[in-house]
Structure 1
Amino acid sequence: MIMVTAKIRSKSGERNNIIAKAQDLITSSRLDPGCISYNLYASTENENVLLMFEQWENFELLQSHMQTEHFKVFGTATEDILAGEIDISIYSAEVKN
Protein backbone atom coordinates (compact mmCIF):
# COMPACT_ATOMS: atom_id res chain seq x y z
CA MET A 1 0.00 0.00 0.00
CA ILE A 2 1.12 3.55 -0.71
CA MET A 3 0.31 6.40 1.68
CA VAL A 4 0.56 10.05 0.71
CA THR A 5 0.51 13.13 2.90
CA ALA A 6 0.23 16.54 1.30
CA LYS A 7 0.63 19.54 3.60
CA ILE A 8 -1.20 22.48 2.04
CA ARG A 9 -0.58 26.01 3.28
CA SER A 10 -3.14 28.60 2.23
CA LYS A 11 -2.64 32.31 1.97
CA SER A 12 -4.32 34.15 4.85
CA GLY A 13 -8.10 33.98 4.52
CA GLU A 14 -8.05 31.41 1.69
CA ARG A 15 -8.38 28.15 3.67
CA ASN A 16 -12.12 27.74 3.09
CA ASN A 17 -11.63 28.52 -0.60
CA ILE A 18 -9.12 25.65 -0.87
CA ILE A 19 -11.50 23.33 1.00
CA ALA A 20 -14.28 24.23 -1.44
CA LYS A 21 -12.05 23.66 -4.47
CA ALA A 22 -10.92 20.30 -3.04
CA GLN A 23 -14.43 18.84 -2.92
CA ASP A 24 -14.49 17.71 -6.57
CA LEU A 25 -10.92 16.40 -6.27
CA ILE A 26 -11.85 14.33 -3.21
CA THR A 27 -15.08 12.96 -4.69
CA SER A 28 -13.50 12.11 -8.04
CA SER A 29 -10.28 10.71 -6.56
CA ARG A 30 -12.21 8.28 -4.37
CA LEU A 31 -13.54 6.78 -7.62
CA ASP A 32 -10.08 6.43 -9.19
CA PRO A 33 -8.81 2.85 -9.59
CA GLY A 34 -6.69 1.83 -6.62
CA CYS A 35 -7.86 4.56 -4.25
CA ILE A 36 -8.32 3.15 -0.75
CA SER A 37 -8.98 6.48 0.97
CA TYR A 38 -8.68 10.18 0.18
CA ASN A 39 -9.36 12.74 2.92
CA LEU A 40 -8.67 16.37 3.77
CA TYR A 41 -8.04 17.49 7.35
CA ALA A 42 -7.70 20.94 8.89
CA SER A 43 -4.95 21.73 11.37
CA THR A 44 -6.14 22.52 14.89
CA GLU A 45 -3.01 24.60 15.47
CA ASN A 46 -2.75 26.71 12.31
CA GLU A 47 -5.83 27.90 10.44
CA ASN A 48 -3.89 28.14 7.18
CA VAL A 49 -2.72 24.52 7.13
CA LEU A 50 -4.59 21.58 5.63
CA LEU A 51 -3.45 17.97 5.29
CA MET A 52 -4.51 15.66 2.48
CA PHE A 53 -4.10 12.01 3.47
CA GLU A 54 -4.37 9.38 0.74
CA GLN A 55 -4.01 5.61 0.56
CA TRP A 56 -3.43 3.78 -2.74
CA GLU A 57 -3.14 0.12 -3.67
CA ASN A 58 0.22 0.71 -5.41
CA PHE A 59 2.52 3.39 -6.78
CA GLU A 60 1.47 2.91 -10.41
CA LEU A 61 -2.16 3.68 -9.56
CA LEU A 62 -1.07 6.76 -7.62
CA GLN A 63 0.87 7.93 -10.69
CA SER A 64 -2.24 7.39 -12.84
CA HIS A 65 -4.26 9.49 -10.39
CA MET A 66 -1.76 12.34 -10.73
CA GLN A 67 -2.47 12.42 -14.48
CA THR A 68 -6.26 12.75 -14.09
CA GLU A 69 -8.13 15.88 -15.08
CA HIS A 70 -9.53 16.43 -11.57
CA PHE A 71 -6.02 16.33 -10.07
CA LYS A 72 -4.73 18.86 -12.61
CA VAL A 73 -7.77 21.13 -12.23
CA PHE A 74 -7.26 21.34 -8.46
CA GLY A 75 -3.62 22.31 -8.95
CA THR A 76 -4.51 25.07 -11.38
CA ALA A 77 -7.46 26.32 -9.33
CA THR A 78 -5.41 26.70 -6.14
CA GLU A 79 -2.02 27.89 -7.41
CA ASP A 80 -2.76 31.57 -6.66
CA ILE A 81 -4.16 30.98 -3.17
CA LEU A 82 -1.42 28.74 -1.80
CA ALA A 83 1.21 30.22 0.50
CA GLY A 84 3.88 28.01 -1.07
CA GLU A 85 4.41 24.65 -2.70
CA ILE A 86 2.49 21.67 -1.36
CA ASP A 87 4.76 19.53 0.81
CA ILE A 88 4.19 15.96 -0.42
CA SER A 89 5.52 12.81 1.24
CA ILE A 90 4.99 9.30 -0.16
CA TYR A 91 5.35 6.18 1.97
CA SER A 92 5.22 2.50 1.22
CA ALA A 93 3.47 0.43 3.87
CA GLU A 94 3.03 -3.26 4.34
CA VAL A 95 -0.29 -4.48 5.69
CA LYS A 96 0.08 -7.44 8.06
CA ASN A 97 -2.82 -9.44 9.36
Structure 2
Amino acid sequence: MITAVARLRARPGHEDRVRKQALSLVAPTLAEPGCLSYRPYVDPLDPGAWLVFEEWYDRASFDKHLTSPHMVEAFEAGAELLDGPPTLTLLEG
Protein backbone atom coordinates (compact mmCIF):
# COMPACT_ATOMS: atom_id res chain seq x y z
CA MET A 1 0.00 0.00 0.00
CA ILE A 2 1.11 3.55 -0.77
CA THR A 3 0.03 6.59 1.24
CA ALA A 4 0.56 9.94 -0.42
CA VAL A 5 0.44 13.23 1.47
CA ALA A 6 0.29 16.33 -0.72
CA ARG A 7 0.75 19.77 0.79
CA LEU A 8 -0.37 22.80 -1.14
CA ARG A 9 -1.04 26.47 -0.60
CA ALA A 10 -3.56 28.57 -2.46
CA ARG A 11 -2.34 31.78 -4.00
CA PRO A 12 -3.84 34.67 -1.99
CA GLY A 13 -7.32 35.44 -3.27
CA HIS A 14 -7.77 31.99 -4.82
CA GLU A 15 -8.72 30.04 -1.70
CA ASP A 16 -12.32 29.44 -2.81
CA ARG A 17 -11.27 28.23 -6.25
CA VAL A 18 -8.74 25.84 -4.71
CA ARG A 19 -11.43 24.50 -2.36
CA LYS A 20 -13.80 23.92 -5.26
CA GLN A 21 -11.13 22.17 -7.32
CA ALA A 22 -9.90 20.03 -4.40
CA LEU A 23 -13.39 18.81 -3.63
CA SER A 24 -14.15 18.17 -7.32
CA LEU A 25 -11.28 15.65 -7.44
CA VAL A 26 -12.71 13.38 -4.73
CA ALA A 27 -15.33 11.45 -6.73
CA PRO A 28 -13.29 10.78 -9.88
CA THR A 29 -10.25 9.80 -7.83
CA LEU A 30 -12.21 7.40 -5.62
CA ALA A 31 -13.53 5.77 -8.82
CA GLU A 32 -10.01 5.00 -10.05
CA PRO A 33 -8.74 1.41 -9.84
CA GLY A 34 -6.49 0.97 -6.82
CA CYS A 35 -7.72 4.03 -4.89
CA LEU A 36 -8.47 3.09 -1.29
CA SER A 37 -9.11 6.61 0.01
CA TYR A 38 -8.74 10.25 -1.01
CA ARG A 39 -9.32 13.00 1.55
CA PRO A 40 -8.52 16.71 1.12
CA TYR A 41 -8.32 18.82 4.28
CA VAL A 42 -8.09 22.58 4.70
CA ASP A 43 -6.48 24.13 7.77
CA PRO A 44 -9.34 25.87 9.64
CA LEU A 45 -6.92 28.54 10.88
CA ASP A 46 -5.33 29.07 7.45
CA PRO A 47 -7.82 28.61 4.59
CA GLY A 48 -5.01 28.74 2.05
CA ALA A 49 -3.24 25.65 3.44
CA TRP A 50 -4.31 22.18 2.30
CA LEU A 51 -3.28 18.60 2.95
CA VAL A 52 -4.51 15.78 0.75
CA PHE A 53 -4.21 12.24 2.12
CA GLU A 54 -4.44 9.43 -0.42
CA GLU A 55 -4.15 5.67 -0.01
CA TRP A 56 -3.47 3.44 -3.00
CA TYR A 57 -3.25 -0.30 -3.44
CA ASP A 58 0.21 0.01 -5.01
CA ARG A 59 2.63 2.46 -6.59
CA ALA A 60 1.49 1.61 -10.12
CA SER A 61 -2.08 2.67 -9.27
CA PHE A 62 -0.85 5.93 -7.77
CA ASP A 63 1.40 6.67 -10.75
CA LYS A 64 -1.49 6.06 -13.15
CA HIS A 65 -3.65 8.42 -11.06
CA LEU A 66 -1.14 11.22 -11.64
CA THR A 67 -1.75 10.97 -15.39
CA SER A 68 -5.56 10.75 -15.19
CA PRO A 69 -7.45 13.50 -17.05
CA HIS A 70 -8.80 15.13 -13.88
CA MET A 71 -5.33 15.28 -12.32
CA VAL A 72 -3.69 16.63 -15.48
CA GLU A 73 -6.35 19.36 -15.50
CA ALA A 74 -5.75 20.08 -11.80
CA PHE A 75 -1.98 20.32 -12.32
CA GLU A 76 -2.50 22.77 -15.17
CA ALA A 77 -4.86 24.91 -13.06
CA GLY A 78 -2.39 24.81 -10.18
CA ALA A 79 -0.02 27.14 -12.00
CA GLU A 80 -2.61 29.90 -11.58
CA LEU A 81 -4.26 28.85 -8.31
CA LEU A 82 -1.36 27.72 -6.14
CA ASP A 83 1.43 29.65 -4.52
CA GLY A 84 4.06 27.22 -5.82
CA PRO A 85 4.07 23.53 -6.65
CA PRO A 86 2.58 21.04 -4.18
CA THR A 87 4.98 19.01 -2.08
CA LEU A 88 4.46 15.26 -2.01
CA THR A 89 5.47 12.67 0.56
CA LEU A 90 5.04 8.97 -0.29
CA LEU A 91 4.90 6.37 2.46
CA GLU A 92 4.81 2.60 2.08
CA GLY A 93 2.91 0.41 4.47
Q: TM-score, normalised by structure 1?
A: 0.89
Spell out, residue by residue over 1:26-68, the C-alpha distance to the aligned partner (whole angstroms, 9 max, x if none).
Answer: 2100000000000110113322101111000000110111111
1:25 aligns with 2:25: yes
Unpaired runs of 5+ in structure 1? none
Q: Is the 8 A contact 1:2 1:92 kept in 2?
A: yes
Compute the RMSD of aligned alpha carbons.
1.1
Count of matched residue pairs: 93
Unpaired runs of 5+ in structure 2? none
Which residue does the alignment assign to 1:65?
65
Query: Identity over aligned residues, as a percent?
Result: 24
SS of the residue corresponding to residue 11 of structure 1 reads: coil
More strand per residue: 2
Q: Is the 8 A contact 1:21 1:78 kept in 2?
A: no
Which residue does the alignment assign to 1:87?
87
Spell out, residue by residue over 1:52-90, the C-alpha distance to the aligned partner (whole angstroms, 9 max, x if none).
Answer: 110000001101111110110111122212111101110
1:78 aligns with 2:72: no
Looking at CA atoms only, which structure, 1 or 2, has the larger radius of gyration? 1
SS of the residue corresponding to residue 48 of structure 1 reads: strand
- 1:3-18 equivalences in 2 (<5 Å): 3-18=3-18
Q: Quick one: which amino acid aligns to residue 53 of structure 1?
A: F
